[in-house]
Amino acid sequence: MRRDRRSLIREYKDTPRPAGVYRVHNTKSGRSLVGSSANLPGILNRHRFALENGSHLDKELQADWNKLGEAAFEFEVLDELDLHDDPGFDPTDDLSVLRRMWTEKLVASGVRLYKESFRGL
């Protein structure tokens, strides 16, 4: 039993996670938070958890969540980064460029962004 558990943990850790650009979209106001991550499922879960617990870093987003409720928000992947087979590949720069591209594209189309979207740009 212990061996099976260890192998499952190892397999989980060795499984590559999708990397890319995501957004948390307020469907009522049209505002969005845009970000990038080397672990898309993890970051989307983190945002949802923080919002549900009232501890999100973006206070305006948190206030909208508190006022409108979960049903007013969509969590979506905008773009996935094609990861290289090289285990030493660092996607940080590519993710930054991809995020900047999506931020510019959304702003140009009239989407208003939450402040946290601009952090690190």
What is the pLDDT confidence band of residue 1, given thresholds at 50, 70 and 90? low
The answer to whether residue 93 is domain-embedded is yes
Domain range for residue 49?
Answer: 19-118
The answer to whether residue 95 is domain-embedded is yes
Mean per-residue pLDDT of the chain: 90
Distance CA 22, CA 35 (A): 6
Q: Which of 1-5, 22-26, 48-52 has the lowest mean pLDDT?
A: 1-5
Distances (CA, A) of 98 to 6, 27, 29, 35, 88: 36, 23, 24, 10, 20
The answer to whether residue 94 is domain-embedded is yes
Q: Name the nearest CA neighbour of 113 among 41, 25, 51.
A: 25
Could you read off the pLDDT of 29-48 as tens digits, one per residue? 999 999 999 999 999 999 99
The answer to whether residue 59 is domain-embedded is yes
- Average of per-residue pLDDT across 96-114: 96
The answer to whether residue 32 is domain-embedded is yes
- Average of per-residue pLDDT across 67-83: 95
What is the pLDDT confidence band of residue 84, given thresholds at 50, 70 and 90? low
Query: For the chain, what is the domain count?
Result: 1
Domain harbouring 109, CATH code: 3.40.1440.10
The answer to whether residue 37 is domain-embedded is yes
- Average of per-residue pLDDT across 78-90: 79
pLDDT of residue 13: 66
The answer to whether residue 7 is domain-embedded is no
The answer to whether residue 14 is domain-embedded is no
pLDDT at 12 over 90: no
